[in-house]
Amino acid sequence: MEIELVEIRDFLAQRPPFDALPEEQLNQLPKSLEIRYLRRGSLFPPADSLKGFIYILRSGAIELRDDEDNLVEKLAEGGLYTTDCQLIDFSRVTHGLAVEDSLIYQLSCDVLKMLRKTEPAFDRHFAESIRDRLKQAVRTLQDYGEEKSPIAEMTVEVSDLIKKRPVMIDINSTIRQAAELMSDKNVSSVMIMDGTQLAGIITDRDLRKRCIAAGVSVDRPVSQIMTTNLETIQESTMAIQALMTMTRLHVHHLPVKRGEDVVGMLTATDLARHQSTNSAYLASDIRKAASVDDLSLVSERLPDLQFQLANSNASALHIGEAISSITDSLTARLIEMAETELGPPPVRYVWLCGGSQARGEQTSHSDQDNALLISDEMKPEHADYFETLAKRVSDGLNACGFIYCPGDAMATNPKWRQTLQIWRKYFNTWINKPEPMALMLSSIFFDLRPVYGEVELFNELRSDVLNKTRGHGIFTAFMAANALQHRPPLGFFRTFVLIHGGKHDDTFDIKHRGIVPITDIARVFALDQGLTPVNTTERLEAAAETTVLSRDMGENLVDALEFIASIRIYHQAEQIRKGIKPDNYLSPEELSDLERRHLKDAFRVIQEMQDAMENRYQGGRFV
């Protein structure tokens, strides 16, 4: 092979999708290429190209613009332009221009079609839609390596651990009948049903302590010894979250539901059988902790947990849920320790978390966002109790590495430690009189979730808030305008909108330029439609069941979020491995060519959704 062709072959062999071609095809490919040289200022694609080509940029830079001359994308070395072969919908692009002297390779659409037909691995890289490419990208990230660490096993869902059908008995049955059923089915518990509703459970421990030891006749009804006021979990709950719930409540059985229907029982034995000693050590250590210093030592292991989960291919969704679940447990233990010292609370209350913890999207040791919602029964003399409680918990979280919120959005701030009545007034003002402060607080206080205490207080507040935001055109328009403040980067290398100068020179903030825009979009949809989920993925899935978001776009946004969040987590895992404090500043040079291409797809999905949102909601600001 001539030396020039060898050089072209080697260039292509190092770049996707051509690196997926077998040796024989790669050797023949340079002979099928046409080489073009474009002077700076030349139109692109070349005006004299009479048939369809894909273009591979060997050197130089080309700008692609829309019909209003806005920059849509830049092609740098190794960049592909495939529109002429109708592989990608670049409907936004109407013309291009070489902004540097550029060398390009042209490959005819006919040759490309032949390669796609004969080489499936090559063809997968040219999926016709962004949706297909993003799904493939997510699968590829999650398929890195074949071995899963023990700790990653706890990111499976509860539904994967339940092997037996639910064992149930009618509430009118006797204790003897329940014991016989448990023995016959070889189970350690039975669920007591009142019609189709779960009324309680009886465990083997209940039989020993509440029946035999207490001298209760086995012919008495099961209702006499059953446990009521049950904590239940959904079958989609992660194993690690179920474990945290068991350790917090000191129970060994959790009924599992699919919606409102009971589908099984998860036991501590199920978890023990599935987990290893490494996978849940944090949970038991949190429960055993007797001081803030003990909890701080446990919390120091959180970066290692994130590192292990990232290296064992857990999804970004599950990693966020796992870290958030542990933060919940640390918070709950701090509250328990405070209550032990201060005594029982004078009135009902619920501790709320906000931001990424509330959404279940936390990474290790972010700053804390929290609030206290107190019953309207509160009297002035109760204020000192809750002030001290808030300070103990917030100081404890800070000692555990969850630093104080720079914006003071914490329960230690009297403004965010209020009764239900006052919280209702806050939200009423934010919704009916949108202003910059309300928009700034939206990512925290419109994403609240209960961690500890009387959950019904929160449910009452949430119901009231969603009833007010549902269909509120002016409020939603202002929220949408705020959501459009964070725009994704446009391209890569010279095409990225990078930070220049300072500590983060030549990087971009993947959190605020990639993850936050999707989170904001999902929040707008949830508030507009009155949807209860707080997690971004769950919000998008719920919105896709309404008229504001198509199912296809909903799936695209979910996949884009998973891919971008995974890139962020792997970036942070590498920093943790090197002993560097994790951050969100990513250099494009850290990414492979394929990762850049998929990240470009994800950013394009965000851009399209932001354009659609702007058209849908902005008119409401002037109503």
pLDDT at 620 over 50: no
Report the pLDDT averaged over residues 609-621: 77
- Under 8 Å between Cβ of 309 and 155: yes
- Under 8 Å between Cβ of 338 and 427: no
Q: What is the per-residue pLDDT for 90?
A: 44
- Under 8 Å between Cβ of 520 and 528: no
- Under 8 Å between Cβ of 103 and 60: yes
Q: What is the per-residue pLDDT for 486?
A: 86
Kind of pairing, strands 53-59 and 102-108?
antiparallel
Sign of the torsion formed by the C-alpha atoms of 247, 248, 253 and 254: negative
DSSP state of 212: I
Q: What is the rounded CA–CA span in Å between residue 561 and residue 527?
A: 19
Q: What is the per-residue pLDDT for 349?
A: 98
> Which residue shows structure tokens 């919390």?
299
Q: Give the closest residue to 460 by CA, choosing from 348, 325, 339.
A: 348
Sign of the torsion formed by the C-alpha atoms of 212, 214, 219 and 222: negative
Q: What is the rounded CA–CA span in Å between residue 458 and residue 463?
A: 8
Report the pLDDT averaged over residues 497-520: 86
Q: Which CATH superfamily is domain 470-622 in?
A: Nucleotidyltransferases  domain 2 (1.20.120.330)
Token output for 87: 């592989």
Within its chain, how far is the Cα of 584 from the centroid? 15
pLDDT at 596 over 90: no
Q: What is the per-residue pLDDT for 408?
A: 93
Q: What is the rounded CA–CA span in Å between residue 324 and residue 528?
A: 26
> Which residue shows structure tokens 């492979």?
592
Strand ranges (E), 295-427: 349-353, 370-374, 417-419
Lowest mean pLDDT among 145-159, 205-219, 563-577, 579-593: 145-159
Token output for 49: 């190209």
- Under 8 Å between Cβ of 134 and 598: yes
Kind of pairing, strands 62-65 and 33-38?
unpaired
DSSP state of 404: P
What is the number of H-type helices and E-type strands within the chain? Answer: 24, 20
pLDDT at 25 over 60: yes
Distance spanning both ends of the chain, measured CA to CA: 70
pLDDT tens figures, 460-506: 999 999 999 999 989 999 999 888 888 887 554 445 566 777 788 88
Domain ranges for the chain: 3-126, 470-622
Q: What is the per-residue pLDDT for 146?
A: 40
State the number of CA atoms in the 13 A half-sphere of 291 facing the CB.
3
- Under 8 Å between Cβ of 392 and 334: yes
> SS3 for 605?
helix
Residue 332 sits at the vertex; the CA angle it makes with 329 and 338, to the nearest 5 degrees, is 140
Q: What is the rounded CA–CA span in Å between residue 253 and residue 67?
A: 62
- Under 8 Å between Cβ of 125 and 16: yes
Token output for 571: 């970036």
Please provide the average confidence, as pLDDT, over all residues in the chain.
85
pLDDT at 145 over 70: no
State the number of CA atoms in the 13 A half-sphere of 523 facing the CB.
28
pLDDT tens figures, 395-408: 999 999 999 999 89
Q: What is the rounded CA–CA span in Å between residue 68 and residue 89?
A: 18
> Which residue shows structure tokens 């507040």?
461
> SS3 for 394?
helix
Q: Give the closest residue to 78 by CA, choosing from 13, 15, 19.
A: 15
Q: What is the per-residue pLDDT for 173?
A: 94
Residue 48 makes CB contacts below 8 A (sequence gap 6+) with none
Q: What is the rounded CA–CA span in Å between residue 33 and residue 106?
A: 5
pLDDT tens figures, 273-283: 655 334 356 77
Give me the percent of the chain exceeding a pLDDT of 90. 47
The most confident of 418-432, 471-485, 561-575, by mean pLDDT: 418-432
pLDDT tens figures, 279-298: 356 777 888 899 999 999 88
Name the pTM for this structure. 0.68
Q: What is the rounded CA–CA span in Å between residue 45 and residue 51?
A: 11
Q: What is the per-residue pLDDT for 553?
A: 92
Q: What is the per-residue pLDDT for 157?
A: 78
Run of H or E including 560: helix 551-577
Q: Which CATH superfamily is domain 3-126 in?
A: Jelly Rolls (2.60.120.10)
Angle between helices 516-529 and 551-577 (to 10 degrees): 140
Q: What is the per-residue pLDDT for 77?
A: 84
- Report whether the peptide linkage leading into residue 17 is cis, meaning its omega lies within 30 degrees of zero: yes
> Which residue shows structure tokens 């010279």?
494
Q: What is the per-residue pLDDT for 177?
A: 94
Q: Beta-carbon neighbour count of residue 582 at 10 Å?
A: 19
Token output for 557: 């946004």
**In terms of pLDDT, which residue wins out, 79 or 296?**
296
Q: Give the closest residue to 603 by CA, choosing from 290, 14, 137, 47.
A: 137
Question: Can you give the length of the chain in residues?
Answer: 623
Indicate the residue type of 233. I
- Report whether the peptide linkage leading into residue 45 is cis, meaning its omega lies within 30 degrees of zero: yes
Q: What is the per-residue pLDDT for 301?
A: 82
- Under 8 Å between Cβ of 271 and 239: yes
Q: For residue 46, what pLDDT band results from cuts at 50, 70 and 90?
A: confident
Helix ranges restricted to H, 500-548: 510, 516-529, 536-543
Residue 366 makes CB contacts below 8 A (sequence gap 6+) with 355, 356, 357, 402
Residue 595 sits at the vertex; the CA angle it makes with 119 and 149, to the nearest 5 degrees, is 95
pLDDT at 419 over 50: yes
What is the per-residue DSSP string for 328-382?
A: HHHHHHHHHHHHHHH-S-SS-EEEEE-HHHHHT---TT----EEEEE-TT--GGG
Question: 91-96 — which CB contacts under 8 Å span 24+ positions?
Answer: 92/66, 93/64, 93/65, 93/66, 94/65, 94/66, 94/67, 95/43, 95/44, 95/64, 95/65, 96/43, 96/44, 96/45, 96/62, 96/63, 96/64, 96/65
